Amino acid sequence: MSGQEQQFVQDVFASNWIAPLGPQVDAFEKEFCDVVGVRHALALSSGTAALHLSLILSGVSQDDEVIVSTLTFSASVNPIIYQGAKPVFIDSERASWNMNPTLFAETVKRKVAQGKPPKAVILVHLYGQSADIDPILEVCNEYGIALIEDAAEALGATYKGRSPGTLGKAGIFSFNGNKIITTSGGGMLVSDDGDFITHARKLSTQAREPAPHYEHAEIGYNYRMSNVLAGIGRGQLQVLEERVQARRRNFDYYVEMLADLPGIQFMPEAPWGRHTRWLTTLTIDSERFGADREDVRLAFEAQNIEARPVWKPMHLQPVFAQYECIGGETSATLFANGLCLPSGSNLTETDLVRIVSVIRSVYAQNHS
């Protein structure tokens, strides 16, 4: 917490306006629009809720196909299944680890030729870095496909000077506890389309019709954010840039202190924008380094330091194994060799020294 959150939450209690909704929610939505550069925003209970509403309002329904990045967390895919639709997984490219635009374009053109155009694409911006949006957006516009940007991990990143999550039909952000800013749990749906957000707002509050009694013509959801959590979010939003700089400092330290070790490669920063380094991620070439990713992870675990493999691609997950995947080798290799290092904004130099020493000790043990 930055210190400002408590004041906003005290204001909530002083007003006795806890939930539902309230002035803190309204202010959080407006301030978020200002930060990311979009016209309309809707504060919700989670990024997953935002993604689900985006699919509903994009007309995704039973047996439709939705293209999605395979290298991501399952929350990017689960709402597709909620709608009875079918995910089509696209492999990564090496420049950003995000969706490969060439494979995407080839897949769309093939499916259009087969008379089965995808209904939407969920473009994930991974680990704090934007995907290459323009070529994907161009194909979407050509064929009338809804582009939904999953920027849950990329708040504070840039793509050609703009915020990822603001270029497509809709964008979603997450404020889960592990994100660069948090409301403990929560998310945001954004769009330049005011009617889109107005309709999403209605659906998120159980789809009540404007009547003095409870009237419902659509299925609704209980997806709104409380006034208390919005107060926390407002305080967090004030220190977003400080958080980005702290994460990037962590990354710079790791790069400098591990530069002489063979076989270690960090996730690149693509030329089209700023990587927040929400997580510092690297790959380990076991032949050159002398140990594999799992050896290093277990060495961290022995020191009570948490490090995790990068996301296991969705096409390798048992629950999604029956669905189509285009490519898959790049993301599978990244998973096999990739590790996420501790990356918190509040890491001290002592913490960083300790983390680096574990990696160096694994290397030394295998080169003694």
How far apart, in Å, are the Cα atoms of 347 and each of 97, 180, 248, 353?
A: 25, 13, 12, 10
Q: Using an 8 Å Cβ cutoff, are 182 and 240 in contact?
A: no
Residue 302's CB: how many other CB atoms inside 10 A? 9
Residues 319-342, mean pLDDT to the nearest whole number: 98
Residues comprising the chain, all counted: 368
Residue 358 pLDDT exceeds 80: yes
pLDDT at residue 65 is higher than 90: yes
10 Å Cβ neighbour count for 158? 16
pLDDT over 80 (residue 20): no
Res. 347 pLDDT band, cuts 50 70 90: very high
| Residue 2: predicted pLDDT | 77
SS3 303: coil
Query: What was the pLDDT predicted at 21?
Result: 81
Tell me how far CA of residue 228 lies from CA of 78, 190, 221, 275, 349, in angstroms.
27, 20, 20, 30, 34
- Domains annotated on the chain, with CATH: 5-237 (3.40.640.10), 241-365 (3.90.1150.10)
Q: What is the pLDDT of residue 351?
A: 98
**What is the token pair recorded at 164?**
């990822």
Secondary structure of residue 129 in the 3-state scheme: coil
Give the closest residue to 75 by CA, choosing from 57, 63, 87: 87
**Average pLDDT across the chain, whole number:** 96
Rounded Cα gap, residues 167 and 157, in angstroms: 13
**Angle between the 133-143 and 101-113 helix axes, to the nearest 10 degrees?**
10
Strand partners, 159: 162
**Minimum mean pLDDT among 12-21, 86-95, 180-189: which range?**
12-21
Mean per-residue pLDDT for 297-316? 98
Quote the CA–CA distance of 149 and 130 in Å, as a whole number: 10
Give the pLDDT score at 282. 98
> Phi-psi region for residue 290, left (φ > 0), alpha (ψ -120 to 50) or beta?
left
Q: Residue 30: count other Cβ atoms within 10 Å of its Cβ.
A: 13
Given a contact cutoff of 8 angstroms between Cβ atoms, the answer to whether 165 and 224 are in contact is no
The percent of residues in the chain predicted with pLDDT above 90, rounded, is 92
pLDDT in tens, 169-197: 999 999 999 999 999 999 999 999 999 99
